[in-house]
Amino acid sequence: MLSVNDLRIGVIGTGFMGKMHANIFRRLPNCKLVGVTDKNLSAASDVAKKLGIKVFNNYNEMLSSEEIDAVSICVSDAEHLVPAVAAAKAKKHILLEKPIATVEDEAELIVEEASKNNVKLAVGHLLRFDSRYRMLKNTIDSGELGQLTSIYTRRNSPISDGPARYGRQGNLTLHVAVHDIDLVLWMMNKKPIRVYAESVSIANKSLGIEDAIFASVKFEDGSIGCLQYNWALPKNFPTHIDAKMHVIGTKGYGSVDCADQGVWICSDSEGLVFPDLTHWPEFDGQIAGNLREELSGFVNSIVYGEDFGITPSEAVDSVKLALAIIKSIQNETVITL
């Protein structure tokens, strides 16, 4: 553990997520945001100027700095391996945006290097910090619902969101579904033994990415799961995330609905909108919600030695199931795990 206020953090990557990480770390207690870096130095400089912090020329310069104790890595999903391994070898604690990697061997190597170098590795599965899912998990663990027999989850978003932001670099399973893959494994707490999935690509065909994927999972005790995820809702859909979860057990039922969060705004210009109040809402220039809880959890796991809430091996398991879903789609067959 470190002394309070000793955790000095740098952010690697100042894109969509990196900018929010920097904004939050700049204001969190028990830590100090030292600086940021990005392949696009102009973008990093803009963030640094706005927050009054240092800009590093590259992540190697950041990792070699004695001013840095920990880094938050917010580069694209397929580029996690090199900076994460470099950070581990530099003895810097690591917060790594999900998924841990897009290749199983790379995911396991990141975990191995962090363990070998005795640094904290936290993978940012945001929904582990969502109070709705945490309440459902606590209820399941209490035994109130009995033995779980089935789980259904969906995560749909407008075509103007992910596809517009990531284009051909997007991957519906590894970038979107991995949220719910992690949740399903967390809720069920059982080993998946086989998976079958189908996909469709019409609206997003020009980008080479899927519109929707349906996956069916069988678990070791005979229970089943269904995952549905979609990147092709209409542009004017009232919420940017239409997410639900239903679990059924031998003694009860539980559900999470993330679309309507209690506030409706309807205007001539925007139509009906259900604003985000949970993931990363911004009030007076400060970002709140699950993302702030996640980053605070990372700081506290190092400063106070608190449990972060998800282990590196669990993050690897999510990638394994995601890759099995992709393999099932590609091979048009059931994949045994």
9-67 pLDDT tens trace: 999 999 999 999 999 999 999 999 999 999 999 999 999 999 999 999 999 999 999 99
Q: Cα torsion at 319, 320, 324, 325 (round to 10°)?
A: -30
Q: Do 202 and 67 belong together in one domain?
A: no
The distance between the two most distant Cα atoms of the chain, rounded to a whole number of Å, is 57
pLDDT for res 165 = 66
**Structural domain of 194:** 131-278+318-336
Q: Report, in this order, helix, strand and coil percent for the chain, each rounded to 5.
A: 40, 25, 35
Domain of residue 229, CATH code: 3.30.360.10
Torsion, Cα 214 218 219 221, to 10 degrees, reads 140
Residues 190 and 327 in one domain: yes
Nearest to 191 by CA among 100, 309, 320: 320
- What is the rounded distance in angstroms from the CA atom of residue 161 to the CA atom of residue 139? 33
pLDDT of res. 1:
52
With contact defined as beta carbons under 8 Å apart, do 155 and 178 qualify?
no
On whether both 244 and 157 belong to a single domain, the answer is yes
In Å, how far are 56, 69, 253, 267, 317 from 141, measured between CA atoms?
A: 45, 35, 13, 43, 20
CA distance to 14, 159, 161, 169, per residue, from 165 (Å): 14, 10, 6, 9
Cα–Cα separations (whole angstroms), residue 43 to 49, 77, 266, 275:
10, 19, 34, 27
Q: What is the pLDDT of residue 239?
A: 86
SS3 328: helix
* One domain, residues 123 and 135: no
Angle at 183 between CA 179 and CA 186, to 5 degrees: 140
Domain annotation covers residue 45: yes
Q: Are residues 22 and 86 in the same domain?
A: yes
Q: Do 167 and 299 have their domain in common?
A: no
- Taking only Cα atoms into account, the Rg of the chain, rounded to an integer number of angstroms, comes to 20
Q: Where are the alpha helices (H) located in 128-177, listed in sequence order? A: 131-142, 162-166
Residues 180 and 217 in one domain: yes
Asked if 147 and 121 sit in the same domain, the reply is no
pLDDT of residue 247: 99
Residues 244 and 261 sit within 8 Å (Cβ to Cβ)? no
- Per-residue pLDDT tens for 299-320? 999 999 999 999 999 999 999 9
Question: Are 72 and 199 in a shared domain?
Answer: no
159 and 192 fall within a common domain: yes
Instruction: Supply the pLDDT for residue 109.
Output: 99
Domain membership of residue 115 (yes or no) is: yes
How many domains does one find in the chain?
A: 2
Instruction: Identify the CATH number of the domain in which residue 52 sits.
Output: 3.40.50.720
Bridge partners (DSSP) of residue 248 are 150, 253
Cα separation of 272 and 28, whole Å?
A: 33
Cβ(94)–Cβ(119) below 8 Å: yes
Nearest to 59 by CA among 10, 124, 125: 10
Q: What integer pLDDT is reported at residue 285 of this predicted model?
A: 86
| 10 in Cβ contact with 37 (< 8 Å) | yes
Is 192 a member of any domain?
A: yes
The stretches in the chain having pLDDT less than 50 are none
Whether 313 is covered by a domain: the verdict is no
Which residue in 98, 95, 99, 68 sits closest to 84, CA to CA? 95
Query: Is-contact 15 38, C-beta < 8 A?
Result: yes
Q: Are 241 and 157 in contact (CB under 8 A)?
A: yes
| Helix residue ranges, H only, 40-80 | 41-51, 59-63
Please return the burial class of 104, using the count of CB atoms within 10 Å of its CB with bins 0-12, 13-18 and 19+: middle
